[in-house]
Chain A
């Protein structure tokens, strides 16, 4: 069966520090991969998605970036965090077909101080 792992679960970082959140999927190949952010009282916001290695689409201009160095690995990064980057970050995957179901990781809570 397929599983998705995301870490770290919780992170407290000072403003201006770098960020790296990692997500890996097991039990499937060539998945679509996604990074979402969930702010309190707001819906999930799609940040990035990837349909293959090295292929990244950005949905929202920001100081975050994403990379997909391997088929089942998706990384969210920042060189310098802002206070507004605080939030709950969720990684997800789906199959390649347009009927694909979305599956989420457990999330990473980022607090920027």
Chain B
């Protein structure tokens, strides 16, 4: 059974700081890994999708890496802004690509 862990559970940083969010998974036989952002009371917004054959993906100030062999992914956020405050979740398919397992997320607060 795939298990996804995200560390830390919560993070508070001053504006402008670079930060790293961590995601680990137990079954390395994955098709892809996806990072999401969730604002309070809202749905999930897809940030980055890394295919199993890729090592990293970049979108603006966001960079996600994937190390399948060690079962880890990181989401790097450069020059954080107050608007980045949200919960960030990672997700990997398990037991079939339709069955995606989510971590509980890291709640990020960027202080102006």
Contact = CB atoms under 8 A, between A and B. Distances in A.
Interface of A: 6, 32, 34, 41-44, 46, 49, 51, 57, 59, 88, 90, 92, 94, 98-107, 109
Contact of A100 (B42, B91, B97, B104): B97
Interface of B: 4, 31-32, 34, 36, 41-46, 49, 51, 89, 91, 93, 97-105
Given A44-B102, A98-B31, A99-B51, A106 B97 contact: no
Given A42-B104, A57-B98, A104-B46, 6 more contacts: A32-B98, A43-B104, A44-B44, A46-B99, A90-B43, A98-B97
B99 A102 contact: no
Contacts of A106: 42-43
Contacts of A94: 98
Contact of A43 (B4, B32, B98): B4
Contacts of A100: 97
